[in-house]
Chains A and B, each alone.
Chain A
Amino acid sequence: MTAKPTTNAMPLLPLSGGGREGVSEEKTPLVAIRDLHKHFHVGGSLFTPPATLRAVDGVDLDIVRGETLGLVGESGCGKSTLARTLIRLHKPTSGSITFDGTDVATSSERDLTPFRRRVQMIFQDPYASLNTRMTVRDLIAEPLEIARIGTPASRTAKVHELLARVGLHADHANRFAHEFSGGQRQRIGIARAIALEPDLVICDEPISALDVSVQAQVVNMLEDLQDQLGLTYLFITHDLSMVRHISDRIGVMYLGKIVELASNTDLYARPSHPYTQALLASIPVPDPTATRPAEPMRGEIPSPLHIPPGCRFRTRCPLATDLCARAEPELRDIGNGHLAACHYAGDAAPQQAA
């Protein structure tokens, strides 16, 4: 299997090992998203205009070839909509998505075909995402058939090779998905996603539905596949412990925008947006002797139908001032490529737990 990307002069980063510094240096990103918006119109009737739900509301994001970019945030923050817009399951309201030099934001379905082969997705629920009437062989061969790659015999050989890659046996090929456990089903879903040797794999909560003891199996396998195949991952999750383990860089989303973006080490060592600080402080630590922060973050995420003007986090922010109500903070570099969208991040750093 030779899926190594042919980029010149850009050594793949040592992914599962380290490679946490300098990920976002001057390189042509695989994906460049600029000022992306995805709005939905909801409700409305003959007499009342529909309301606008701003699910993705101005996102700039680069994904570098070979990295794992983590994307975290609470439900309703727009992280899944961003992923679905990126792979063009949704048509963007505005903004651009450049994939390996080609703008795919406005392409027609026909022009998207080559792009679709190069970007694949792993879904959260391995029970819902696999057709129960298809054998494992047919499930994994389906992408190859759609792309008209190989003969039935060569596809079967490829299926066997893929099964081995994800730690399943060749004789599993004739069985049906319902005969497998959740972890094994997720392996089948992963085999399907890598069948076309994609460049980018979007992992949308790929381990959330799995048992704790099985999660680590799947995460280790994803890391191995990345090393072997040179994959780039966009890893979406609400599990703040696992995202730190697997990612090189992490973006934090809040109400449709990225509010902080940094290398994983930097983000956890120096969270600079008050939202990130509150989020990280909320993680339950599996250590009964750990000290807990006294005050949880107040309130709940506002509706994306009514995003507060100014800074969108100010309604829950312990540091909010008049300035935050007047002006929306830009996502700016506060040093070493650490980006934060807060008027008070960096120099005028808010007080934070050590």
Chain B
Amino acid sequence: MTEPILSVRDLKTSFFTQRGEVQAVRGVSFDVYPGEILGIVGESGSGKSITCMSILRLLKPAGRIKSGSAIFDGQDLMTLSEADLSDVRGNRIGMIFQDPMTSLNPTLSVGEQVIETILRHRKATRAEARARAVELFELVRIPSAAERLKSYPHEFSGGMRQRVMIAIALACDPKLLIADEPTTALDVTIQRQILGLLRDLQQRLGMAVILITHDLGVIAEVTDRIVVMYGGLVMETGPVRDLFATPKHPYTRGLLASVPDLRDDTHRRLTPIPGSPPDMAHPPSGCPFTPRCPHAMRICATDLPPIFGIGQGARCWLHHPEAPPSLLPSREKVPEGRMRGPSP
């Protein structure tokens, strides 16, 4: 197997607030391989965005990385000097965020912002940088690219602003692109355009992408592998097809069962997950999903399980090699609707 481009190990990040320590990320490990799209899926407060902000060391002052490493291209981003790190950010790792309006400078033309990024990381004349900017605008399919360089962010629609953000992120041919909820603020028709564009660019440029989202549809549509996060931990990981076809962790199963199936005509009642996500100021000592889990056992409340399984792994005691098979929820008993396979 090829070497991962990014290897995150045991990352722990906390925020120190008036309420005390909020443990947002509690020991996260995953790999990203060249040329793949890795999806990180989770609900608000699951730690998915903080994980990526920690990798780039872009946390707000209250946030602190307590331990862990993130090896990118042979260097540990956690121990890199600030100067070396700023050579990585925006250069070898590109970034896109949810709200393109707050990520762009409203007082500069968009062209200026692309050119600025190029000049900061590359030896180029202004004219060369400008030519590259036009090329990038064409790459992200902004019509009449050369003229639109002079426009300001407020003169663009949300979808076009996100295209500008992508152009800036791609300005220096990054090896890795981190996209945090890039289409959440957009309408579905525009979302499809942007997702199609991302997929297309990823294949053409051969870069790796981390796509963070709460939308299972988006995950299914564009990613190759996924990491499911809950309570600051990775709960399940595996190839996207396996994970959707046979989710192993009760949380993943619950998540997939709680969204309505567009192709289902029967109008059956939805199957929600009862309760609400844990308070990370007081994280549970066992599996964070225990209070909401229909299969919780005594050990689940006290001991955090490791990830069981290779390829598709789940952080769940049900998958302990010595757990009696009868404990495993049978596929028929899983909230039906989402499961494909042998069931009629």
> Could you tell me which A residues sit within 8 Å of B by CB distance?
16-18, 20, 74-75, 181-184, 211-217, 219-220, 223, 238, 240-242, 244-245, 265, 268, 278-279, 281-290, 292, 296-297, 300-301
Q: Which residues of B contact A292 (CB under 8 A)?
A: 221
Q: Which residues of B contact A297 (CB under 8 A)?
A: 189, 192-193
* Least distance between B269 CB and chain A CB atoms (Å): 6
Contact with A along B309-344 (1 / 0, CB 8 A): 000000000000000000000000000000010000
* Least distance between A86 CB and chain B CB atoms (Å): 23
Report whether A300 and B159 are in contact in the complex, using a CB–CB cutoff of 8 Å: yes
Q: Which residues of B contact A219 (CB under 8 A)?
A: 270
Report whether B260 and A241 are in contact in the complex, using a CB–CB cutoff of 8 Å: yes
Interface centre among B191, B195, B262 (most CB of A within 10 A): B262
> Could you tell me which B residues sit within 8 Å of A by CB distance?
43-44, 157, 159-160, 187-193, 195-196, 214-221, 240-241, 244-245, 254-256, 258-262, 265, 267, 269-274, 276-277, 292, 340
* Least distance between B254 CB and chain A CB atoms (Å): 6
Report whether A286 and B219 are in contact in the complex, using a CB–CB cutoff of 8 Å: yes
Report whether B189 and A245 are in contact in the complex, using a CB–CB cutoff of 8 Å: no
Nearest residue in A to B241 (C-beta to C-beta)? A288
10 extra interface residue pairs, beta carbon distance < 8 Å, beyond A219-B270, A241-B262 = A74-B190, A75-B187, A212-B43, A214-B273, A214-B276, A220-B272, A245-B267, A279-B188, A284-B195, A297-B189
Among candidates A74, A184, A211, A215, residue contacting B277 with C-beta atoms closer than 8 Å? A211
Q: Which residues of A contact B255 (CB under 8 A)?
A: 212-213
* Least distance between B239 CB and chain A CB atoms (Å): 9
Report whether A285 and B188 are in contact in the complex, using a CB–CB cutoff of 8 Å: no
Report whether B262 and A268 are in contact in the complex, using a CB–CB cutoff of 8 Å: yes
Report whether A282 and B188 are in contact in the complex, using a CB–CB cutoff of 8 Å: yes
Report whether A212 and B258 are in contact in the complex, using a CB–CB cutoff of 8 Å: yes
Q: Which residues of A contact B260 (CB under 8 A)?
A: 241-242, 244-245
Report whether A216 and B191 are in contact in the complex, using a CB–CB cutoff of 8 Å: no
Known A211-B44, A213-B255, A214-B272; judge A284-B265 contact (CB<8 A): no
Nearest residue in A to B187 (C-beta to C-beta)? A74
Q: Which residues of B contact A301 (CB under 8 A)?
A: 187
* Least distance between B88 CB and chain A CB atoms (Å): 31
How far does the alpha carbon of A75 sit from the alpha carbon of B185 in the complex, in Å? 10
* Least distance between A167 CB and chain B CB atoms (Å): 10
Report whether B216 and A282 are in contact in the complex, using a CB–CB cutoff of 8 Å: no
* Least distance between B153 CB and chain A CB atoms (Å): 16
How far does the alpha carbon of A135 sit from the alpha carbon of B240 in the complex, in Å? 45
Among candidates B189, B244, B270, residue contacting A282 with C-beta atoms closer than 8 Å? B189
How far does the alpha carbon of A265 sit from the alpha carbon of B263 in the complex, in Å? 10
How far does the alpha carbon of A289 sit from the alpha carbon of B241 in the complex, in Å? 7
Report whether A217 and B220 are in contact in the complex, using a CB–CB cutoff of 8 Å: no
Q: Which residues of A contact B276 (CB under 8 A)?
A: 181, 183-184, 211, 214
How far does the alpha carbon of A183 sit from the alpha carbon of B219 in the complex, in Å? 24
Among candidates A184, A215, A240, residue contacting B188 with C-beta atoms closer than 8 Å? A240
Q: Which residues of A contact B216 (CB under 8 A)?
A: 212, 286
How far does the alpha carbon of A285 sit from the alpha carbon of B218 in the complex, in Å? 8
Nearest residue in B to A275 (C-beta to C-beta)? B189
How far does the alpha carbon of A223 sit from the alpha carbon of B272 in the complex, in Å? 13
Nearest residue in A to B188 (C-beta to C-beta)? A282
* Chain A to chain B contacts (Cβ below 8 Å), 28 pairs: A17-B267, A18-B267, A74-B187, A74-B189, A181-B276, A184-B276, A212-B43, A212-B214, A212-B258, A213-B277, A215-B258, A215-B272, A216-B272, A217-B272, A220-B270, A238-B187, A240-B188, A244-B262, A245-B267, A245-B270, A282-B189, A284-B192, A284-B220, A284-B221, A286-B216, A288-B221, A289-B340, A292-B221
Q: Which residues of B contact A268 (CB under 8 A)?
A: 262
* Least distance between B201 CB and chain A CB atoms (Å): 15
Report whether B262 and A213 are in contact in the complex, using a CB–CB cutoff of 8 Å: no
Among candidates A17, A240, A290, residue contacting B220 with C-beta atoms closer than 8 Å? A290
* Least distance between B298 CB and chain A CB atoms (Å): 24
* Least distance between A76 CB and chain B CB atoms (Å): 9
